[in-house]
A and B are shown apart, each in its own frame.
Chain A
Amino acid sequence: MSRLDLSGIDPRRKRTDRLARAALAGVAFLSVALLVALVGTLVVKGAPHVTKTFLTSYPSRFPSRAGALPAIVGTLLLGAVSMAAALPIGIAAAIYLQEFARANRVTTLLRASIGNLAGVPSVVFGILGLALFVRALMLGKSILAAGLTLGLLTLPIIIVVCEEALKTVPRSMREAAFALGASRWQVVRHHVLPYALPGMLTGSILALSRSMGETAPLILIGAAVYIGYMPGGLMDSFTALPIQAYYWAQDARTAFHDLAWAAVLVLLVLVALGNLTAILLRDRYQRRYKW
């Protein structure tokens, strides 16, 4: 006696299921398509103008002679300064939070403030940089001021990345060291840190990529619109690729718009190189430590 119909549920439900799957796949595909379109547009519009002249010349009134050399150098310099400022503090903060901090109100507050700092708009960092580094500390519109500001901006990312690296240290390693009578500081310095350092550094490259792409803080701090010379020291005026692109894009002459595309293409290449390096290094170190 078979009174069961097992061949199917309400066809409307099956249809909804199929439609939903298709729609979701479509949306995901759209996300990827948007990325491809974005990068593709950049390449199509920018590549023709990334010439040797572009890469080796200074900005000029004449588009055919204008180049982004100081901007490229500026971007790299700013990246270096921001990392030099943020990395030691970020690593130290991560070590404190992971290895030494106890679970109390203060620690919760510290973590919350790191999370909050991560969400502060970049232009507000620019305002802080302007008021604190440029004016109050009288560093002027210098590479140092901009680098410190960018360092502060990327600090939360670095802390998160370093904490992640510290978390990968196997507990057995720590326990073995403690069992041999090492103090907490010794365990950190001789065992945990060397193990986690590669991961910290590779993760920080991602933060570096992020800081190279920031524009708003640089506008606030006072990036130069026109630099005819190579920056000589930390207190010199500066420019950077995003800023240069920004000003070229606002120029009334459309020839400069082409240069803006070229500039952001170069910027994207730098950022992509940074991210790629970080991912490759991360994979290499993960494999090395798989025991």
Chain B
Amino acid sequence: MAIPQRPQTGRASKSAASHPPIFRVRDLHVHYGDTHALKNIRVDVPERQVTAFIGPSGCGKSTFLRCLNRMNDLIPVARTTGQVLLHDQDINAPNVDPAALRRHVGMVFQKPNPFPKSVFENVAYGLRLEGGVTKDEMHARVQEALEQANLWDEVKDRLDMPGTSLSGGQQQRLCIARALAVRPDVLLMDEPTSALDPIATARIEDLIAELRQRYTVVIVTHNMQQAARISDHTAFFYMGELVEFGATKQIFENPRDPRTEAYVTGRFG
């Protein structure tokens, strides 16, 4: 099937050499209590590309996403074994502080979750944690983040308004700006548009296409068409296993595994 793809801005080359892996995952297993949620995951996530995780509900794609910034640590019954290397450092090593990791690997959630604070304070939240940022710098960083999230023009006169007073799509872009403000290397997105209307969704998809110039984006989506539209690489998960990983074009037009083919042709969802 022919896939309409978004025009690639910036570097169009898709060769592996220009996008070395930023994450290298080996032998990753995750257990929730007795449930074996992720089995033996092995994958390299390329830098400054958009990688999509697709698969039916409950296949483990969100669980794997949360491994990349150790958000699974917050779940008491979750146990993770295996290696996740971020720029050759094992993020699960005992001397690694998850809080430090999450400065480099940001996350945007399915339901927009702005804090009950002003637009400005939402974006500045991460910056205030570190401290040592002057007032002028703060304003500059907040503006930079909001511009990168394509939200600045809409809120520049409303920075003191509560974040919750924005529309759904705007709130999600606010959450993206909030994540970008700390200048992470990676932006993880867990079904970021599933709670939004089609117009807001389209705006965020445009945004993701732009973000790949600066950031590595990993997006979990249950919407295959979205994955096909915006991602460079796609990983298909099924029942806790990573079934197939490759260039998006290849996954959708020429899947190697029969399960992948069955899923992308819509035989099950």
Task: Please state if B87 and A9 are interface contacts (CB–CB under 8 Å).
Answer: no
Residues of B near A14 (CB, < 8 A) are: 97
Q: Which of A1, A6, A13 contacts B96 (CB 8 A)?
A: A6
Proximity string of chain B (93-120) to chain A, C-beta cutoff 8 Å, 1 when within and 0 when not? 0011101110110000000000000000
Task: Please state if A8 and B89 are interface contacts (CB–CB under 8 Å).
Answer: no
How far is A13 from B95 in the complex, measured between Cα atoms in Å?
16
> Which of under 10, 10 to 19, 20 to 34, or 35 or more describes the interface residues of A?
10 to 19
Q: Is B129 an interface residue (CB 8 A)?
A: yes
Q: Is B188 an interface residue (CB 8 A)?
A: no
Q: Is A51 an interface residue (CB 8 A)?
A: no
Chain A residue nearest in CB terms to B91: A6
On whether A4 and B89 interact (CB within 8 A), knowing A10-B130, A10-B131, A13-B129, the answer reads: yes
Q: Is A3 an interface residue (CB 8 A)?
A: yes
Chain A residue nearest in CB terms to B90: A6
How far is A3 from B100 in the complex, measured between Cα atoms in Å?
13
Proximity string of chain A (7-32) to chain B, C-beta cutoff 8 Å, 1 when within and 0 when not? 11110011000000000000000000
Q: Is A116 an interface residue (CB 8 A)?
A: no
Residues of A near B197 (CB, < 8 A) are: none
Task: Please state if B97 and A4 are interface contacts (CB–CB under 8 Å).
Answer: no
A260 to chain B, nearest CB (A): 49
A126 to chain B, nearest CB (A): 42
On whether A5 and B100 interact (CB within 8 A), knowing A10-B130, A10-B131, the answer reads: yes
Max chain A Cβ within 10 angstroms of own Cβ: one of B95, B99, B101, B131: B99
How far is A3 from B89 in the complex, measured between Cα atoms in Å?
10
Task: Please state if B100 and A7 are interface contacts (CB–CB under 8 Å).
Answer: yes
Q: Is A2 an interface residue (CB 8 A)?
A: yes
Residues of B near A7 (CB, < 8 A) are: 95-97, 100
Residues of A near B86 (CB, < 8 A) are: 4, 6
Task: Please state if A9 and B88 are interface contacts (CB–CB under 8 Å).
Answer: no
Q: Which of B97, B129, B130 contacts A6 (CB 8 A)?
A: B97
Q: Which of B87, B91, B100 contacts A8 (CB 8 A)?
A: B100
How far is A126 from B100 in the complex, measured between Cα atoms in Å?
60
How far is A4 from B91 in the complex, measured between Cα atoms in Å?
11
Task: Please state if B100 and A9 are interface contacts (CB–CB under 8 Å).
Answer: yes
On whether A2 and B87 interact (CB within 8 A), knowing A10-B131, A13-B129, the answer reads: yes
How far is A4 from B185 in the complex, measured between Cα atoms in Å?
10
How far is A5 from B104 in the complex, measured between Cα atoms in Å?
10
Residues of B near A3 (CB, < 8 A) are: 87
How far is A257 from B130 in the complex, measured between Cα atoms in Å?
59
How far is A5 from B99 in the complex, measured between Cα atoms in Å?
11
How far is A1 from B100 in the complex, measured between Cα atoms in Å?
18
Chain A residue nearest in CB terms to B93: A6
Task: Please state if A6 and B101 are interface contacts (CB–CB under 8 Å).
Answer: yes
How far is A7 from B101 in the complex, measured between Cα atoms in Å?
8
A14 to chain B, nearest CB (A): 8
The 6 residue pairs across chains A and B that have the minimum distance between CB atoms: A6-B96, A8-B97, A2-B87, A9-B100, A9-B99, A6-B100
Instruction: Name A's B-contacting residues (CB within 8 A).
Output: 1-10, 13-14
Chain A to chain B contacts (Cβ below 8 Å), 5 pairs: A4-B87, A4-B104, A6-B91, A8-B97, A8-B100
Further contacts, 9 of them, CB under 8 A, given A1-B87, A13-B99: A2-B89, A4-B86, A4-B104, A6-B96, A6-B97, A6-B104, A7-B100, A9-B97, A9-B130
